[in-house]
Amino acid sequence: MIKVHGVHGSPFVRKVLIALELKGLEFQQIPQMPFMEVSEEYRKLSPLGKIPALEDGDLQVSDSTVICEYLEDAYPEPPLYPRDPVAKARARWYEEYGATRLAELTAGIFFQRFMRPFAFQQEPDEELIAKIIEKRLPPELDYLEGQVPAEGFLFGDFQMADLALVSPFINAAYANYEVDASQWPLLAAYIARVSAIPEVAALVAREKSALGLDSPG
């Protein structure tokens, strides 16, 4: 059976879990914490020591984008990437952008507001959070406002590119950051649409429970 190494709450693990669910593949999730000393054994699966990593038969591979592209090649139905080369190149760009610039900025908010107080018992760096929210994110949100569709998804049906763009914002929401719908209405509505996809909503509920975010108060 396919094995996915990683824990709930990672925007990268989320991409892989949802790809597996959308493709109807059975899998086993093996907990692997990020930002810790990793075993020699895990480093064979993920040479950079990051999550997620995937095992499928003889294949051992890491990096969410590489994993999702493998799943698409090995299990083509339903398609999670466009088949047309031009659209596919655009989809890969969005996935790259989501996994780099967007993930970096939203991880900054998540790390400061969530990981520091709850995992490391440290105060969040409010100055850094303000710089991300007020200075560094707005140009990216302006860019996205011009890219996302007013209705539906980037390439027709919901696909990996949509999840790759929205997954970082799910982490930011865990840290109480929401895109301001009065300034970026198309983006805010698009994030809500992607978050309402049943597989996404179900995983977010499981993540909230794992992160202790579902308790009242």
What residues line the site for ligand GSH (CB under 6 A)? 10, 12, 34-35, 49-52, 63-65, 99
Shortest Å, Cβ 60 to ligand GSH: 14
Shortest Å, Cβ 149 to ligand GSH: 24
Contact status, residue 60 vs residue 53, Cβ threshold 8 Å: yes
Residue 70, C-beta contacts closer than 8 angstroms, at least 6 positions apart: 54, 56, 59, 61
Residue closer to ligand GSH (CB basis): 45 or 188: 45
Contact status, residue 214 vs residue 208, Cβ threshold 8 Å: yes
Residue closer to ligand GSH (CB basis): 35 or 120: 35
Round to whole Å and give the CA distance between 42 and 127: 36
Residue closer to ligand GSH (CB basis): 23 or 50: 50
Residue closer to ligand GSH (CB basis): 65 or 195: 65
In this structure, the dihedral spanned by the alpha carbons of residues 52, 55, 59 and 60, taken in order and rounded to 10 degrees, is: 50
Residue that has been written with the tokens 């100055």 in this structure: 127
Shortest Å, Cβ 50 to ligand GSH: 3
Residue closer to ligand GSH (CB basis): 10 or 159: 10
Shortest Å, Cβ 109 to ligand GSH: 13
Measuring CA to CA, which residue among 23, 11, 36, 77 is closest to residue 2? 23
Shortest Å, Cβ 216 to ligand GSH: 27
Round to whole Å and give the CA distance between 213 and 178: 16
